[in-house]
Structures are given as C-alpha cells and as structure tokens.
C-alpha cells in the first residue's frame, strides 16, 4: 500500500518511506586505500571532491593515492591545488617536496621541505617525518628554517590534533 501512496503523492506514514542517504565518499575512499585498492579509492575521492570542491584535505589524500599508483604528475598537481587552498598542510609540503626531488627540482623541493620544517606536524610519528625532511634538506645542502617553539604535549588521555604527514583525514 505504501508504494501506491508514494506514487500518487501521499505518505504511507509507515517505516517504508524512502529516506535518501548521502554516501560518505571520503571515508569510503580511506577504507579502500586501507585495503590497497587505490584506483577505487581515487574514484571515491573524485566523488567526494565533487561534493566538496575546495576541500584541501581531499586533494591531499588524492595526491597520496596518485603517488601510490605512480601517477606522479597528477600527484604533484593535486598537492599544488591543496596548497593553494590551505598553505599550512604539512603533509602536502612534505609529499610535494619528495616528488619534486624525484623530478629533478631540488630548489622547489628545498622550499617545501623548509616550509614543512617551519611548521612540522605533531603526534606520535611526527619525529620520523621531521628527521627524514631534515636529512633530505641537509643532503641538498640547504639549511632548514628555524623550528618554532615546541608546543606543550597533549594531556594524558587526550586526542592529539596534529596528524603525521601521510596520515589521512577522514572527518570534516
């Protein structure tokens, strides 16, 4: 009976009313990446980007997935677009720096490494990324930017807000 009422404009009032649900494409993409299906993840990221065209975090995640699928030109383009929208994305500076090194642009890489080190991420894995960036900058013969004063450690039991450079962002 509910079908006929919906068809002709009435409401069935029952539990069978259709309730359209919006898919969470970003979290779907993150789950697909965890499974190693980067091409499917990129499809979901594209759908997420369609819904949120100026979300720098989605662009950064796409750049990481493009890097994992060895589509470096696309990765560079997405990192640059993410940084246009949010120049403070440490992970985008980090990822772009190493892609630029691979492409033979040491000056561009050094600039992004310096920016990354000027405002490094915090969190349990941050130190390894900082050391890697510092070593790469040293290998290029460049001096890192002075590090900002360390922030106080998060209180025990609290959730740290900073993310490692390659860690994905799934919430809005």
Residue 14 confidence (pLDDT) above 70: no
Give per-residue pLDDT as tens, 50-99. Answer: 999 999 999 999 999 999 999 999 999 999 999 999 999 999 999 999 99
Question: In the prediction, which pLDDT does 22 show?
Answer: 54
Q: Which residues of 141-151 are buried (b: 16+ CB within 10 A; e: fewer)?
A: ebebeeeeeee
150 — pLDDT class (breaks 50, 70, 90): very low
Element (H, E) at 7: helix 2-7
151/158: higher pLDDT: 151
What the block records as the tokens of 53 is 């065209």
Quick one: residue 67, left, alpha or beta (phi over 0 = left, psi -120 to 50 = alpha)? alpha
Query: With 0-12 CB in 10 A as exposed, 13-18 as middle and 19+ as buried, what is 56?
Result: buried
Of 12-21, 118-127, 146-155, the range with the lowest mean pLDDT is: 146-155
Query: By the 8 A CB rule, do 60 and 82 touch?
Result: yes
142/81: higher pLDDT: 81
Question: In the prediction, which pLDDT does 143 show?
Answer: 62
Give per-residue pLDDT as tens, 26-50. Answer: 999 999 999 999 999 999 999 999 9
Residue 9 confidence (pLDDT) above 60: no
C-alpha Rg value of the chain to the nearest Å: 21
């Amino acid at each position: 009976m509910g079908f006929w009422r919906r068809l002709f404009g009435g409401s069935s009032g029952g539990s069978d009313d259709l309730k359209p649900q919006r898919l969470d494409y970003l979290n779907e993409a993150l789950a697909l990446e965890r499974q190693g299906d980067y091409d499917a993840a990129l499809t979901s990221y594209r759908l997420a980007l369609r819904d949120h065209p100026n979300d720098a975090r989605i662009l950064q995640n796409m750049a990481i997935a493009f890097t994992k699928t060895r589509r470096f030109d696309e990765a560079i383009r997405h990192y640059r677009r993410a940084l246009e929208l949010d120049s403070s994305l440490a992970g985008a500076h980090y990822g772009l720096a190493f892609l630029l090194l691979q492409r033979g642009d040491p000056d561009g890489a050094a600039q992004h490494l310096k920016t990354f080190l000027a405002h490094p991420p915090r969190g349990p894995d941050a130190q390894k990324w900082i050391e890697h960036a510092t070593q790469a900058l040293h290998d290029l013969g460049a001096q890192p930017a002075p590090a900002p004063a360390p922030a106080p450690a998060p209180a025990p039991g609290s959730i740290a807000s900073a993310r490692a450079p390659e860690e994905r962002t799934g919430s809005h």
